[in-house]
Structure 1
Amino acid sequence: MPLHMIKLAVGATCLQDLLDWHEHQASTRQNLGLAPRPVCDTRMTPKRRDEVLDGGSLYWVIKGQILVRHPIEDIVTLEDGTGKTRCEILLQHDPIQTVPQRCSAFQGWRYLLAKDAPPDHKNLEGGEGLSEPLRQELFKLGAW
């Protein structure tokens, strides 16, 4: 069973904000001669890296709810030349919307066990193609 990670999408007010940010990242990386892909930068490298790379995803919390996940392709630790390190979590291009799930605020990132992760939205009967506002409203009404 894969081990996932969860992180707050700080500054994002909706799913489109996160997608726009990742598009900007991909463009910036391409201009620098790097692979154009979404990346999550963080200070700490996961100690359970191998478990996360065995099919794990990065689940994003937007305004107190998990709304989307990105499958993780790799986790790379980089050094800046002064001995300080940082971590890049390399993500697949296409995010997968999830059933909204409430989540309290926290700092940094956390591990997320597969049993605690929300199911993918596309796995819900009749849920394909719903707009984010409609999904939010259905969640508030208790439909999910």
Structure 2
Amino acid sequence: MHIIKLCVGVSSVDELIEWREMRRSQGFARDDGNNVHRTRMMPKRADEIVGQGSLFWVMAGAVRCRQLIVGLEAATDSEGKSCCDIILDPNVIRTSPYPRRPFQGWRYLDPKDAPSDLATGSDDQLPPEGMAEDLARLGLI
């Protein structure tokens, strides 16, 4: 089982990667190198997610990438409210662009409905983002 969530304030995969690197350089990284994303609700299906699921990020109206979920930890925010820290592998894996309308919070994403990882070309290069969208729209990726 996976989770899908809007990546608010980020419009591209490169921007997400840059933002994560900036936060890490500012000392906001975990000692184990993993990323943390805080959300309000703890998934009830945690045992189906941790170690086998990913957080799929929606940016600019489409799912564009994912990060493996390595842990879910109960936490408390600055106002004393309970929340959940989603512990993410730092590697960002680009996916085939898949259109998705805005929604609040996060949702479960069944593996059969998850977009596939974006394959690299024969030169180990990913297609440009615009080209990947065009190929996905044509059903070629």
Shorter-chain TM-score tier: 0.7 to 0.9
Would you say 1:75 and 2:66 are equivalent positions? no
Displacement after TM superposition at 1:25 (Å): 2.9
Q: How far apart in 1 are the matches of 2:138 and 2:42?
A: 38
Give the TM-score normalised by the residue count of structure 1: 0.83
How many angstroms apart in 1 are the aligned matches of 2:60 and 2:78?
36
What are the ranges of 5 or more consecutive residues in structure 1 without an aligned counterpart?
Answer: none
In structure 1, the partner of 2:38 is 41
Q: Is the 8 A contact 2:51 2:71 kept in 1?
A: no
Distance 1:61 1:128, change over 3 A: farther
Give runs of aligned pairs for residues 1-144 of structure 1, distance below 5 A: 3-28=1-26, 31=27, 34-35=30-31, 36-80=33-77, 83-122=80-119, 128-129=124-125, 130-144=127-141
Question: Which amino acid counterpart does residue 51 of structure 1 have in structure 2?
Answer: E
Instruction: Give the stretch that moved more between structures: 129-138 or 55-64.
Output: 129-138
Unaligned runs of 5+ in 2: none
Question: Contact between 1:74 and 1:89, CA under 8 Å: does it hold in 2?
Answer: yes
The runs of at least 4 consecutive aligned structure 1 residues that moved more than 4 Å come to 80-83, 124-128
The number of aligned residues is 139
Q: What percentage of residue pairs aligned between the two structures are identical? A: 37
The two structures, once aligned, show a CA RMSD in angstroms of 2.4
Which one has the bigger helix percentage?
A: 1
Distance 2:6 2:123 in 1: 24
